[in-house]
């Protein structure tokens, strides 16, 4: 076969294979057997191997994954990937409809779609070819994982349908069907490999793998649900999705147009139970205003669109047996109890562990080993024990007792007055505390050192290359490159990241040290009050407590840290490596809707993390505090708010506000 004949035959094979892929993965109407399909694909692979110049990025052979990619580059989103506001309450859905009517002046048409429990992806096509696939990331930019997404057979590599714009972006959710997930886990168990926790985590981890061949071997699929571009076929969301379906994209059949919020509520009710029979995970319904013009009028907040909302179904519950309790030690010495359970299926995943938070939670539940317990997933993510069936408790059951000594080093545990957690004070010699502090030091919110994640830190520790954070800056290229899973390029990236971190802002370095009770806000306050670390080291408790939000507990912790010769030696070695500990932290707002107020944030939230809420408090002129006192103005209370904080608030008559009420206060 000459080049011209090969080019002609390769084109024919690509068209045939693309057509069969569409029939199999999109329409579920295959017309040839798997064996016949493999013959066509093998013929194309043979031609491309013989004539490498004929290989194209959109060839079906690219779906098998061929090369090891060393890293993912960051890519900007042309349109921000915003998060949706969540609610578990039908009244909130009605309120959403009223807000929309108030702005538009009329009742719009809505579109209801199931909310898939997967990983968001943004696909961009130019001249009919898939040119990029980018993860959500921070909403503005994400990881370009195009090489991996090409392996997913339900995603078209080319769009040749008439009417498709020359340039467009389509977004959706990568997921693994339930049956495929169970089969994949069974295969891993047979090979002695660890099982994946749930389909979403498996999908998220898979699309970030560096070997596309492994990605191609896993049963990833994708639903597309949002079309973006300058030349869309219709002026409404629903018709655009139907157009995308006609071009070959996989969109859900479960989608409905509703002329009122009443019809929306009917859709929510219909699918609350029916969704459980679907072959993939869902956790709610996304409600969108259909008209693109209305969407534009309604606009967006900084984080989410005002024209859409996600309704989440109530968490499912399951009953199982409490087998044992592990007591885990964190970087600041906090000891967290984790329940080990008899494996049980809950919301589509097998649950084996659940958080117990602290000793108070154990006492409230009155747990005994062997108890039958009711578990649910908070927000369908984090398993927790919510109830104990005491009628099934045996006479010889043994009560769960929180330990008096550190389970790792044997040091007597400490619990300070007004705190919910016990902690191990042996921070210098308790192994998990040391490694977790090093992991904290390199983390994104601290010094954000590229290439140094949790696994790499544990690898360095296991090879006795580090014993504290200062050791990181004395690592040599040959030491790193010789380690398993690293190599020359990774070693160079790590050393470059360490060098870059030497000039990070002063307050982030203070936060990175991992001083107990010194979070991001306190570190910024200390940096503003003491412009270099020598001044902070020599500061008295009174001098520290003269600063906003610095009380006796924090000042005592800081002085204790710097009174230890080993910590002073770490600071000295960091300085000798070129790290500077001086500067001024950015000023926080002096005026604002929360000016003069001291606010405590406690629990888990839907829209923001606790750290983000604390930043919003400061931006609005308020002060964020870690503990409840007579000076507390109010508490922003989320789910799982600590029982000791709740009791203290009740005792002092301090108001609890929800996340939504707080955002209304600051007019977010």
Question: Residue 641 sits in a domain of what CATH number?
Answer: 3.40.50.10190
Catalytic one of 8, 49, 102, 115: 115
- Mean pLDDT, all residues of the chain: 86
CA distance readout (Å), 83 to 96, 144, 302, 310: 16, 19, 10, 10
Which of 397, 419, 441 terminates a domain? The answer is 419
Tell me: do 648 and 560 sit in the same domain: no
Strand ranges, E, within 71-166: 74-76, 86-87, 110-116, 119-126, 129-135, 141-143
Tell me: do 301 and 326 sit in the same domain: no
Flag whether 66 is in a domain: no
DSSP 514: T
pTM metric for this prediction: 0.52
Flag whether 476 is in a domain: yes
Tell me: do 264 and 330 sit in the same domain: no
Predicted pLDDT of residue 668: 46
Q: Are 53 and 9 in contact (CB under 8 A)?
A: no
CA distance 231 to 74: 26
- Per-residue pLDDT, averaged over 24-48, amounts to 70
pLDDT of 157 > 80? The answer is yes
CA distance readout (Å), 587 to 370, 415, 613, 617, 618: 53, 34, 17, 13, 10
Least confident among 17-26, 60-69, 113-122, 456-465:
60-69
Question: Residue 508 sits in a domain of what CATH number?
Answer: 1.10.150.20
Tell me: do 167 and 43 sit in the same domain: no
Predicted pLDDT of residue 180: 92
Predicted pLDDT of residue 198: 76
- Per-residue pLDDT, averaged over 319-339, amounts to 89
Residue 536 CA to its chain's centroid (Å): 35
Tell me: do 440 and 482 sit in the same domain: yes
Predicted pLDDT of residue 70: 44
Predicted pLDDT of residue 25: 53
Of 642 and 532, the one with more pLDDT: 532
Of 644 and 252, the one with more pLDDT: 252
Among residues 185, 207, 199, 196, the alpha carbon closest in space to that of 117 is found at 199
Q: Are 667 and 593 in contact (CB under 8 A)?
A: yes
- Per-residue pLDDT, averaged over 591-607, amounts to 79
- Per-residue pLDDT, averaged over 422-447, amounts to 87
Burial of residue 622, with CB atoms counted within 10 A of its CB: 0-12 exposed, 13-18 middle, 19 or more buried:
buried
Tell me: do 200 and 90 sit in the same domain: yes
User: Residue 623: which domain range?
Assistant: 598-665
Among residues 557, 528, 525, 527, the alpha carbon closest in space to that of 541 is found at 557
Kind plus residue range of the DSSP H or E element containing 174: strand 167-175
pLDDT of 420 > 80? The answer is no
The total number of structural domains in the chain stands at 5
pLDDT tens sequence across 220-234: 999 999 999 998 999
Tell me: do 270 and 354 sit in the same domain: no
Among residues 438, 423, 427, the alpha carbon closest in space to that of 327 is found at 423
Q: How confident is the model at residue 50 (pLDDT cuts 50, 70, 90)?
A: confident
Q: How confident is the model at residue 193 (pLDDT cuts 50, 70, 90)?
A: confident
CA distance 276 to 285: 13
Tell me: do 390 and 445 sit in the same domain: no
- Per-residue pLDDT, averaged over 168-178, amounts to 94
Predicted pLDDT of residue 524: 85
| CB count in 10 Å sphere of residue 10 | 20
CA distance 390 to 373: 9
Tell me: do 242 and 146 sit in the same domain: yes
Predicted pLDDT of residue 68: 36
Flag whether 582 is in a domain: no
Question: What percent of the chain shows pLDDT beyond 90?
Answer: 41
Q: Are 347 and 316 in contact (CB under 8 A)?
A: yes
Is 115 a known active-site residue?
Answer: yes
Q: How confident is the model at residue 267 (pLDDT cuts 50, 70, 90)?
A: very high
Residue 126 CA to its chain's centroid (Å): 30
């Amino acid at each position: 076969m000459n080049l011209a004949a090969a080019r002609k035959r390769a084109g024919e094979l690509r068209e045939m294979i693309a057509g069969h892929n569409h029939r199999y993965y999109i329409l579920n109407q295959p017309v040839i057997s798997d064996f016949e399909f493999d013959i066509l694909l093998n013929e194309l692979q043979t031609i491309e191997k013989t004539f490498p110049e004929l290989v194209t990025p959109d060839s079906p052979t690219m779906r098998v994954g061929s090369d090891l990619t060393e890293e993912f580059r960051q890519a900007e989103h042309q349109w921000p990937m915003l998060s949706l506001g969540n609610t578990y309450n039908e009244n909130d859905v009605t309120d959403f409809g009223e807000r929309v009517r108030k702005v538009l002046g009329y009742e719009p048409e809505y579109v209801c779609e199931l909310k898939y429990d997967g990983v968001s992806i943004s696909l961009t096509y130019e001249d009919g070819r898939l040119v990029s696939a980018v993860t959500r990331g921070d909403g503005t930019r994400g990881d370009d994982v195009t090489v991996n997404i090409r392996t997913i057979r339900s995603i078209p590599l080319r769009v040749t349908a008439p009417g498709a714009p020359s340039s467009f972006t389509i977004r959706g959710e990568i997921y693994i069907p339930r049956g495929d997930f169970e089969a994949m886990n069974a295969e891993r168990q047979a090979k002695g490999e660890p099982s994946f926790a749930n389909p979403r985590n498996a999908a998220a981890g898979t699309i970030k793998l560096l070997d596309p061949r492994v990605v191609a071997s896993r049963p990833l699929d994708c639903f597309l649900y949002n079309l973006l571009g300058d030349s869309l076929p219709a002026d409404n969301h629903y018709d655009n999705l139907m157009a995308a379906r006609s071009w070959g994209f996989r969109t859900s059949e479960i989608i409905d147009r509703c002329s009122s919020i009443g019809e929306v509520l009917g859709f929510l009710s219909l699918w609350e139970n029916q969704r459980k029979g679907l072959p993939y995970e869902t956790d709610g319904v996304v409600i969108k205003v259909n008209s693109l013009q209305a969407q534009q009028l309604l606009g967006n907040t900084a984080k989410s669109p005002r024209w859409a909302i996600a309704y989440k179904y109530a968490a499912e519950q399951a009953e199982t047996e409490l087998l044992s309790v592990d007591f885990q030690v964190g970087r600041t010495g906090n000891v967290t109890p984790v329940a080990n359970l008899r494996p049980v299926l809950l919301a589509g995943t097998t649950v084996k562990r659940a958080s117990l938070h602290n000793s108070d939670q154990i006492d409230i539940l009155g747990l005994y080993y062997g108890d039958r317990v009711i578990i649910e997933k908070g927000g369908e993510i984090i398993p927790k024990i919510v109830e104990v069936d005491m009628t099934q408790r045996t006479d010889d059951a043994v009560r769960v007792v929180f330990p008096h000594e550190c389970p790792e080093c044997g040091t007597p545990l400490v619990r300070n007055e007004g705190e919910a957690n016990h902690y191990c004070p042996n921070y210098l010699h308790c192994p998990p505390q040391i490694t977790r502090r090093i992991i904290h030091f390199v983390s994104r919110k601290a010094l954000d050192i590229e290439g140094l994640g949790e696994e790499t830190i544990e690898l360095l520790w296991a090879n006795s290359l580090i014993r504290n954070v200062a050791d990181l800056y004395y690592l040599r290229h040959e030491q790193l490159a010789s380690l398993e899973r690293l190599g020359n390029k990774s070693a160079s990236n790590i050393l470059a990241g360490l060098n870059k971190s030497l000039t990070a802002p002063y307050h982030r370095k203070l936060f990175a040290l991992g001083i107990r009770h010194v979070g991001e806000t306190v570190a910024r306050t200390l940096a503003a009050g003491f412009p270099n670390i020598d001044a902070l080291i020599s500061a008295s408790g009174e001098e520290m407590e003269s600063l906003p939000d610095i009380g006796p507990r924090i000042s005592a912790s800081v002085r204790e840290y710097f009174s230890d010769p080993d910590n002073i030696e770490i600071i000295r070695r960091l300085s000798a490596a070129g790290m500077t500990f001086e500067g001024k932290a950015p000023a926080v707002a002096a005026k604002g809707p929360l000016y003069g107020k001291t606010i405590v944030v406690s629990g888990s939230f839907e829209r923001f993390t606790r750290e983000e809420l604390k930043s919003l408090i400061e931006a609005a002129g308020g002060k964020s505090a870690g503990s409840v006192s007579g000076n507390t103005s109010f508490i922003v209370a989320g789910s799982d708010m600590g029982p000791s904080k709740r009791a203290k608030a009740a005792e002092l008559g301090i108001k609890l506000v929800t996340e939504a009420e707080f955002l209304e206060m600051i007019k977010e």
